[in-house]
Amino acid sequence: MTIRRATARDAKRLTRLVRASSAYEGPYAPMIAGYRVGPDYIETHQVFLAVDPGNRVLGFYALVLDPPELDLLFVADDLQGCGIGRLLVAHMTDRARAAGVDGVRVVSHPPAEGFYRSVGARYTGTDAAHPPAVMWDRPEFVLPTGPVGSTALTPPAAQPA
Protein backbone atom coordinates (compact mmCIF):
# COMPACT_ATOMS: atom_id res chain seq x y z
CA MET A 1 0.00 0.00 0.00
CA THR A 2 1.16 3.52 -0.81
CA ILE A 3 -0.18 6.83 0.50
CA ARG A 4 0.16 9.63 -2.02
CA ARG A 5 -1.17 13.10 -2.65
CA ALA A 6 -4.38 13.09 -4.66
CA THR A 7 -4.49 14.88 -8.00
CA ALA A 8 -7.41 16.37 -9.89
CA ARG A 9 -7.54 13.17 -11.94
CA ASP A 10 -8.45 11.22 -8.77
CA ALA A 11 -11.65 13.23 -8.18
CA LYS A 12 -14.07 10.77 -9.79
CA ARG A 13 -12.59 7.78 -7.97
CA LEU A 14 -12.78 9.56 -4.60
CA THR A 15 -16.36 10.61 -5.30
CA ARG A 16 -17.27 6.99 -6.11
CA LEU A 17 -15.73 5.83 -2.82
CA VAL A 18 -17.79 8.37 -0.85
CA ARG A 19 -21.04 7.54 -2.63
CA ALA A 20 -20.50 3.77 -2.24
CA SER A 21 -20.00 3.97 1.53
CA SER A 22 -22.48 1.74 3.35
CA ALA A 23 -22.05 3.98 6.41
CA TYR A 24 -24.26 6.51 4.63
CA GLU A 25 -27.22 4.29 3.87
CA GLY A 26 -30.71 4.71 5.29
CA PRO A 27 -31.21 7.85 7.36
CA TYR A 28 -27.67 9.04 6.59
CA ALA A 29 -28.12 8.92 2.79
CA PRO A 30 -29.10 12.61 2.38
CA MET A 31 -25.71 13.69 3.69
CA ILE A 32 -23.88 12.35 0.63
CA ALA A 33 -26.67 12.53 -1.94
CA GLY A 34 -25.08 14.26 -4.90
CA TYR A 35 -21.79 14.69 -3.00
CA ARG A 36 -18.78 15.30 -5.21
CA VAL A 37 -15.07 15.49 -4.46
CA GLY A 38 -14.07 17.98 -7.12
CA PRO A 39 -10.69 18.69 -8.68
CA ASP A 40 -10.74 22.20 -7.17
CA TYR A 41 -11.28 20.74 -3.69
CA ILE A 42 -8.32 18.39 -4.18
CA GLU A 43 -6.10 21.24 -5.31
CA THR A 44 -7.16 23.51 -2.42
CA HIS A 45 -6.80 21.05 0.46
CA GLN A 46 -4.40 18.34 1.54
CA VAL A 47 -6.06 15.25 0.10
CA PHE A 48 -4.16 11.97 0.30
CA LEU A 49 -5.19 8.52 -0.82
CA ALA A 50 -4.07 5.00 -0.07
CA VAL A 51 -3.67 2.81 -3.14
CA ASP A 52 -2.70 -0.81 -3.62
CA PRO A 53 -0.04 -1.96 -6.14
CA GLY A 54 -2.75 -2.11 -8.84
CA ASN A 55 -3.67 1.54 -8.12
CA ARG A 56 -7.03 0.65 -6.50
CA VAL A 57 -8.13 3.39 -4.10
CA LEU A 58 -8.33 1.82 -0.65
CA GLY A 59 -9.21 4.99 1.23
CA PHE A 60 -8.50 8.70 1.49
CA TYR A 61 -8.60 11.71 3.75
CA ALA A 62 -8.86 15.47 3.33
CA LEU A 63 -7.14 17.79 5.77
CA VAL A 64 -8.15 21.44 5.88
CA LEU A 65 -5.43 23.50 7.57
CA ASP A 66 -7.21 26.79 8.21
CA PRO A 67 -8.84 26.11 10.59
CA PRO A 68 -7.40 22.60 11.10
CA GLU A 69 -10.06 19.97 10.45
CA LEU A 70 -10.24 16.45 9.13
CA ASP A 71 -12.92 17.12 6.54
CA LEU A 72 -13.19 13.66 4.96
CA LEU A 73 -11.96 10.16 5.81
CA PHE A 74 -13.23 7.15 3.89
CA VAL A 75 -12.04 3.57 3.59
CA ALA A 76 -13.52 1.10 1.10
CA ASP A 77 -16.24 -0.95 2.80
CA ASP A 78 -14.55 -4.29 2.09
CA LEU A 79 -11.30 -3.10 3.71
CA GLN A 80 -12.61 -1.57 6.92
CA GLY A 81 -10.99 -3.11 9.98
CA CYS A 82 -7.71 -3.81 8.15
CA GLY A 83 -5.80 -0.81 9.58
CA ILE A 84 -6.05 1.48 6.54
CA GLY A 85 -8.03 4.12 8.45
CA ARG A 86 -5.40 4.11 11.23
CA LEU A 87 -2.61 4.51 8.68
CA LEU A 88 -4.43 7.41 7.04
CA VAL A 89 -5.02 9.10 10.41
CA ALA A 90 -1.34 8.66 11.32
CA HIS A 91 -0.34 10.17 7.97
CA MET A 92 -2.77 13.05 8.46
CA THR A 93 -1.52 13.85 11.96
CA ASP A 94 2.06 13.82 10.68
CA ARG A 95 1.08 16.30 7.92
CA ALA A 96 -0.75 18.51 10.39
CA ARG A 97 2.15 18.45 12.87
CA ALA A 98 4.58 19.36 10.05
CA ALA A 99 2.33 22.33 9.26
CA GLY A 100 2.59 23.49 12.89
CA VAL A 101 -0.86 22.29 13.95
CA ASP A 102 -1.17 20.78 17.44
CA GLY A 103 -4.70 19.41 17.08
CA VAL A 104 -7.17 18.67 14.30
CA ARG A 105 -10.94 19.02 14.71
CA VAL A 106 -13.07 16.05 13.70
CA VAL A 107 -16.85 16.19 13.38
CA SER A 108 -17.61 12.49 13.33
CA HIS A 109 -20.24 10.57 11.46
CA PRO A 110 -22.05 8.92 14.42
CA PRO A 111 -21.17 5.33 13.39
CA ALA A 112 -17.46 6.30 13.23
CA GLU A 113 -17.29 7.68 16.78
CA GLY A 114 -15.68 4.51 18.18
CA PHE A 115 -13.00 4.58 15.49
CA TYR A 116 -11.98 8.15 16.30
CA ARG A 117 -11.83 7.37 20.01
CA SER A 118 -9.64 4.33 19.23
CA VAL A 119 -7.08 6.49 17.40
CA GLY A 120 -6.76 8.92 20.30
CA ALA A 121 -9.34 11.58 19.49
CA ARG A 122 -10.63 13.46 22.53
CA TYR A 123 -14.32 14.27 22.74
CA THR A 124 -14.93 18.04 22.84
CA GLY A 125 -18.70 18.34 22.39
CA THR A 126 -21.49 18.05 19.87
CA ASP A 127 -21.93 19.65 16.47
CA ALA A 128 -25.64 20.48 16.12
CA ALA A 129 -27.69 19.19 13.18
CA HIS A 130 -27.66 21.24 9.97
CA PRO A 131 -30.90 20.35 8.13
CA PRO A 132 -31.74 19.37 5.51
CA ALA A 133 -28.49 17.47 4.74
CA VAL A 134 -27.52 16.60 8.33
CA MET A 135 -30.56 15.84 10.44
CA TRP A 136 -28.72 14.63 13.56
CA ASP A 137 -26.22 15.97 16.06
CA ARG A 138 -22.68 14.66 15.59
CA PRO A 139 -19.90 14.09 18.11
CA GLU A 140 -17.00 16.50 17.85
CA PHE A 141 -13.41 15.58 18.70
CA VAL A 142 -9.89 16.91 18.56
CA LEU A 143 -7.12 14.66 17.30
CA PRO A 144 -3.84 15.73 18.93
CA THR A 145 -0.88 15.66 16.57
CA GLY A 146 1.73 15.27 19.30
CA PRO A 147 4.98 17.20 19.55
CA VAL A 148 7.13 17.68 16.48
CA GLY A 149 9.33 14.62 15.99
CA SER A 150 7.00 12.16 17.74
CA THR A 151 4.73 9.57 16.25
CA ALA A 152 1.16 10.48 17.18
CA LEU A 153 -0.16 7.00 16.40
CA THR A 154 1.50 3.68 15.99
CA PRO A 155 -0.64 1.97 13.37
CA PRO A 156 -1.18 -1.78 13.59
CA ALA A 157 0.00 -4.12 10.87
CA ALA A 158 -2.60 -4.36 8.12
CA GLN A 159 -4.68 -7.53 8.21
CA PRO A 160 -5.66 -9.33 5.03
CA ALA A 161 -9.17 -8.52 3.78
Residues making up the chain, counted from first to last: 161
Contact 4, 49 (CB under 8 A): yes
pLDDT band at 160 (very low <50, low <70, confident <90, very high): very low
What is residue 161's predicted lDDT score, i.e. its pLDDT? 32
Q: What is the DSSP letter of 66?
A: T
pLDDT band at 33 (very low <50, low <70, confident <90, very high): confident
Q: What confidence tens digit (pLDDT) does each residue in 34-90 have?
A: 899 999 999 999 999 999 999 999 999 999 999 999 999 999 999 999 999 999 999
141 vs 127: CA distance, rounded Å: 10
Q: Higher pLDDT residue, 131 or 112?
A: 112
Instruction: Please choose, from the candidates 47, 36, 38, 41, the residue with its C-alpha nearest in 3D space to the C-alpha of residue 6.
Output: 47
Instruction: Please choose, from the candidates 30, 6, 51, 4, the residue with its C-alpha nearest in 3D space to the C-alpha of residue 132.
Output: 30
Instruction: Please choose, from the candidates 90, 89, 102, 87, the residue with its C-alpha nearest in 3D space to the C-alpha of residue 148.
Output: 102
What is residue 154's predicted lDDT score, i.e. its pLDDT? 37
Q: Higher pLDDT residue, 60 or 149?
A: 60
What is residue 146's predicted lDDT score, i.e. its pLDDT? 81
Q: Higher pLDDT residue, 82 or 131?
A: 82
Q: Is 94 exposed, middle or buried (0-12, 13-18, 19+ CB in 10 A)?
A: middle
Q: Does the pLDDT value for residue 155 go beyond 90?
A: no
82 vs 77: CA distance, rounded Å: 10
What is residue 149's predicted lDDT score, i.e. its pLDDT? 44
Instruction: Please choose, from the candidates 50, 16, 26, 13, the residue with its C-alpha nearest in 3D space to the C-alpha of residue 109.
Output: 26
pTM value?
Answer: 0.87
Q: Where are the alpha helices (DSSP H) in the chain?
A: 11-19, 29-32, 39-44, 84-98, 113-118
